C-alpha cells in the first residue's frame, strides 16, 4: 500500500458540499492499495503510521507519535498515488488495485488504525471529494508498504 501522510492542525473531506469526515490535530492520510496488496500490508501500514514520530515534543523536535498526542486520522482513498509517469505525459494507473480490492483494503486500513486506538474519520471511496486541510509544519511523508 502507498500513503501520503500530512500532519495537520485540522482537515475535512466533503462530498457534494456535505462534510463526510473531519478531524482536528492529527494526520491526513491519502492511501492507495496497489495491485497485489493484502490485509497484512494494510495492517503494517496502519501500525507504522500510528507509531510515526512526526509531532513536536516540548523541545520542538519531531519526537511524538499519534499514540503520544492522542491525535486523529482522516483517511482518504486516492488511487492516483499509483500514477506511473515514466512514459509520456498522461499518468497510467495500472499498478493500482482494482476498485473492489482497493475499497476492501482501504476500509481494512482504516479499521486497523481504529483497532490500534486511533480515532479515525474517512472520506467516501470512489467519490469525487473536496479535501480541506491546514498542513502543520508543513510535514508531508511518503510511505510504501508491501508488494508495490
pLDDT, position 147: 55
Query: Per the confidence metrics, is the pTM higher than 0.85?
Result: yes
Give the separation between CA 37 and CA 32, rounded to whole angstroms: 10
Distance CA 37, CA 48 (A): 16
Q: What's the whole-number mean pLDDT along residues 9-13?
A: 98
pLDDT of residue 81: 96
- What kind of architecture, by CATH, is found in domain 2-144? 3-Layer(bba) Sandwich (3.50)
Q: What's the chain's average pLDDT?
A: 96
pLDDT tens column, 78-100: 999 999 999 989 999 999 999 99
Q: What is the DSSP string of the chain?
A: -EEEEEEEEEEEEEETTEEEEEESSEEEEEEEPBTT--HHHHHHHHHHHHH---EE-TTS-EEE-HHHHT-EEEEEE-GGGG-B-SSSSS-B-TTBPPHHHHHHHHHHHHHHHHHTT--EEE--TTS--EEEEEEEEEEEEEEE-S--
134 pLDDT band (50/70/90 cuts)? very high
Q: Enter the C-alpha cell of residue 35.
A: 495491485
List active site positions.
78-80
Instruction: Map out the domains of the chain as residue ranges.
Output: 2-144
Q: What is the pLDDT of residues 23-48, one digit of tens each?
A: 999 999 999 999 999 999 999 999 99
pLDDT above 90 covers what percent of the chain? 96
What CA–CA distances, in Å, run from 88 to 42, 69, 82, 91, 92?
31, 43, 15, 8, 9
Q: What percent of the chain shows pLDDT beyond 70?
A: 99
Per the CB < 8 A criterion, the answer to whether 23 and 70 are in contact is no
Amino acid at each position: 500500500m502507498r500513503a501520503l501522510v500530512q500532519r495537520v492542525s485540522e482537515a475535512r473531506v466533503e462530498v457534494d458540499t456535505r462534510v463526510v469526515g473531519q478531524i482536528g490535530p492529527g494526520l491526513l492520510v491519502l492511501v492507495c492499495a496497489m495491485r497485489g496488496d493484502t490485509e497484512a500490508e494494510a495492517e503494517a501500514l496502519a501500525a507504522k503510521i500510528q507509531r510515526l514520530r512526526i509531532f513536536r515534543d516540548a523541545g520542538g523536535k519531531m519526537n511524538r507519535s499519534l499514540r503520544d498526542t492522542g491525535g486523529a486520522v482522516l483517511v482518504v482513498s486516492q488511487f492516483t498515488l499509483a500514477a506511473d509517469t515514466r512514459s509520456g505525459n498522461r499518468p497510467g494507473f495500472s499498478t493500482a488495485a482494482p476498485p473492489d480490492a482497493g475499497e476492501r483494503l482501504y476500509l481494512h486500513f482504516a479499521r486497523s488504525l481504529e483497532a490500534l486506538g486511533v480515532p479515525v474519520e474517512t472520506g467516501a471511496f470512489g467519490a469525487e471529494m473536496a479535501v480541506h486541510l491546514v498542513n502543520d509544519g508543513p510535514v508531508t511523508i511518503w510511505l510504501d508498504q508491501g508488494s508495490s
